[in-house]
Amino acid sequence: MVKRLSEFSLIEKYFAPLSSSGAFGLKDDAALLQIPKNKTLVVTNDAIAEGVHFLKGTDPKRIAQKAIRTNLSDLAAKGATPFAFSLALGLPSDWDNDWIKAFSKGLKADCKAFGISLCGGDTFRVSPDKSGAVISITAYGHIDKKDYASRLGAKSGHALYVTGAIGDGVLGLTLATDKSNDKLQKPNAAQKYLIDRYEIPQPRIEMIKLVAKYASASMDISDGFVGDLEKLCSASHVAANINLMDIPISKQARAQLKTQKVTPIVAVTSLITGGDDYELLIVIPKSKVNSFETESKKLNFPITFLGNFKKENASFKGVNILGEDGEPIILAHRSYTHY
Amino acid sequence: MVKRLSEFSLIEKYFAPLSSSGAFGLKDDAALLQIPKNKTLVVTNDAIAEGVHFLKGTDPKRIAQKAIRTNLSDLAAKGATPFAFSLALGLPSDWDNDWIKAFSKGLKADCKAFGISLCGGDTFRVSPDKSGAVISITAYGHIDKKDYASRLGAKSGHALYVTGAIGDGVLGLTLATDKSNDKLQKPNAAQKYLIDRYEIPQPRIEMIKLVAKYASASMDISDGFVGDLEKLCSASHVAANINLMDIPISKQARAQLKTQKVTPIVAVTSLITGGDDYELLIVIPKSKVNSFETESKKLNFPITFLGNFKKENASFKGVNILGEDGEPIILAHRSYTHY
């Protein structure tokens, strides 16, 4: 028999211990949220659903962590320091107490890791038959208002950087799918790394302070490097030439690409147009480039310079990805699309 | 062929016009939310799902309104003035442009009606096959911190009031179900009223100022009068005797009950243990009862006094519903439960 706690017991046992002081132990209809003095509130909202953002059968602990981290990635991109979140949890039709227990473990681990607390939310059934889990999180951060890095502030001449490596997520998705279909029996260390990168993204909170201090624009990459950079270009009315070979690819991704029977160009272009990177595009005005690079090095965290933005005009909009010959590569698509 | 805008076009066309200044035309990953000086932020989050909170085939305009209003009802119960919301919209598998257009009309109507704006969110697919819409809204309000009415502040001797009428929602659900099954061909005026009450609840924003000014505790009734009042009693460690005949029932509900082949007691008890009322339970300390009643009368908005709380003890916890003979009525269940 499936064991299921009541809504009240479930909240009291698993969620209330994660709550903050203004949340009344999650016994109230709402919560009071105190913003530090002289700071402005930053809110963001990302939802993830089974079969779309994570595979059926994913460890519920990782589902919870992905739901939190996709949101923290957005806050990091703005230069905002996260402090709390609200959780709407649409339970899968086959949930039981073990599912909730594992899910709450993921919440707890990330509350601790990122210094955030749960300030309320809602639990509900999704719909009667065979539906998967749906998790919507609203995350709260704070910032000095003048430091907020939107997508709109990139200007001609500003330098573009990207954190970490691109393409691990989309490779991890393929591997995770193969694994859940029993096509991949024993993932090697590189493959495990890539699956982890897909299932539990690492929000680049290390960069929050530098984004706030130096960035004229910034965004996180969730739907693919090319498409997301084009969104930033469009919002800022700038354009960019990017050398394909400059885009950082992890050694694990390179190892995995070698096992695929496609040309190197096809392999690499699939990485820069897939989703689930959760790396940051960071735009720095020329005058601040030296300080930004110096301080980044001290963090010992990999960032890569990709070039300078140009003004957008009728014949040059968005992003050109240039091959080794300096000519634009024709891409079959630009990014992951939801529908 | 099903016509579907891209995610970008959909947001730009239907959602961006509803956004506020800190939301960057919904082109950014997050939004800056400015709280009025000397006020504290109140956040709440409610989600609604097809087949659980609304029926398949419901006008998408009404789905949007219900999603907003269940949240505003929570803010009203706290005495908080709503000003913005985030929207996570899980699109049903059969969505098309008309669906979105109607949905956005509901958002727009309620932004105007309640003076709120959209500050961001997420749109996504729910899951591949035959899934219904899932909408999670986080609503933001502000309040003088000292005025916040939690569920925890009711004390022995405090007076309990309820707004409007109880039971319209659960009757409306039955009628709406019959209508969608073609069992109800032509609803009469009372039946239409009850269906409306189920499909588009009226958050009691008229009462926000008085709740903030006078209430020691307050909550909205969404899962049933008895069960929700018991939650308030439990959070405040008080108990209540309520005369069944004191609980306000609308004339439309009374008319509908007469058509049912059940005893009056069964009929009325089904109303007080069903969900979807979105009325408020308001608790007023003795010393403020006169002022509260005087000011309520000026609003010309119906509230009903239901009695005074007692201290909770080992033999008297929660809520007794008393019949005309003064004896407790045994209820088959106390409220709507989600799972």
Spatial contact of A321 and A242, defined as CB atoms under 8 Å apart? yes
Low-confidence ranges of chain A (pLDDT < 50): none
Indicate the residue type of A56: K
Spatial contact of A119 and B127, defined as CB atoms under 8 Å apart? no
pLDDT of residue A21: 84
Report residue A333 CA to chain centroid gap.
20
pLDDT of residue A334: 73
B151 to chain A, any CB pair closer than 8 A? The answer is yes
Decide if B42 and A35 are in contact by the 8 Å CB cutoff.
Answer: no
Is the pLDDT confidence value at B319 over 70? yes
The larger pLDDT score, comparing residue B106 to residue B335, is at B106
Between CA A276 and CA A70 the distance in angstroms is: 9
B44 to chain A, any CB pair closer than 8 A? The answer is yes
Q: Which residues pair with B283 in a beta bridge?
A: B160, B217
Between CA B43 and CA B139 the distance in angstroms is: 6
The C-alpha R_g of chain A, in whole angstroms, comes to 21
Distance from CA of B137 to the nearest CA of A (A): 9
Between CA B43 and CA B228 the distance in angstroms is: 20
B230 to chain A, any CB pair closer than 8 A? The answer is no
Between CA A114 and CA A117 the distance in angstroms is: 9
Contacts with B328 (C-beta within 8 Å, 6 or more apart), sequence order: B320, B321, B322
- Residue B51 corresponds to which tokens in the numbers above? 């087949």
Distance from CA of B6 to the nearest CA of A (A): 7
Q: What is the pLDDT of residues A121-140, one digit of tens each?
A: 999 888 666 788 999 999 99
Chain B window 75-104: which residues touch A at a Cβ cutoff of 8 Å? 75, 77-78, 80, 86-88, 90-91, 95
Is the pLDDT confidence value at B128 over 80? no
ipTM of model over 0.95? no
- Label residue B325 exposed, middle or buried (CB < 10 Å: 0-12, 13-18, 19+): exposed
Domains and CATH numbers, chain A: 7-147 (3.30.1330.10), 159-322 (3.90.650.10)
pLDDT of residue A257: 93
Between CA B214 and CA B208 the distance in angstroms is: 10
Decide if B29 and A78 are in contact by the 8 Å CB cutoff.
Answer: yes
Q: What is the pLDDT of residues B257-276, one digit of tens each?
A: 998 887 877 788 899 999 99
B289 to chain A, any CB pair closer than 8 A? The answer is no
Between CA A222 and CA A335 the distance in angstroms is: 9
- Residue B95 corresponds to which tokens in the numbers above? 């969505």
Contacts with A274 (C-beta within 8 Å, 6 or more apart), sequence order: A167, A169, A170, A171, A173, A224, A336
Between CA A94 and CA B38 the distance in angstroms is: 46
Name the 3-class secondary structure at B330. coil
B125 to chain A, any CB pair closer than 8 A? The answer is yes
Q: In the 8-state DSSP scheme, what is residue B132?
A: -
pLDDT of residue A338: 55
pLDDT of residue B223: 93
A238 to chain B, any CB pair closer than 8 A? The answer is no
Q: Which residue of chain A is at minimal alpha-carbon distance from B149?
A: A28
Q: How many CB atoms lie within 10 A of CB A290?
A: 10
Spatial contact of B323 and B329, defined as CB atoms under 8 Å apart? yes
B16 to chain A, any CB pair closer than 8 A? The answer is no
Q: Which residues pair with B321 in a beta bridge?
A: B242
Decide if A124 and B52 are in contact by the 8 Å CB cutoff.
Answer: yes
Spatial contact of A1 and A97, defined as CB atoms under 8 Å apart? no
pLDDT of residue A336: 65
What mean pLDDT is predicted for residues B179-194? 93
The larger pLDDT score, comparing residue B4 to residue B118, is at B118
Distance from CA of A52 to the nearest CA of B (A): 6
A43 to chain B, any CB pair closer than 8 A? The answer is yes
Select from A8, A34, A45 the residue whose CB has the most chain B CBs within 10 Å, as the one to mutate to test that interface.
Answer: A45
Interior CA angle at B192 toward B190 and B196, to 5°?
115
**% of chain B exceeding 90 in pLDDT:** 82
Distance from CA of B258 to the nearest CA of A (A): 32
Spatial contact of B168 and A168, defined as CB atoms under 8 Å apart? no
Between CA A138 and CA A127 the distance in angstroms is: 22
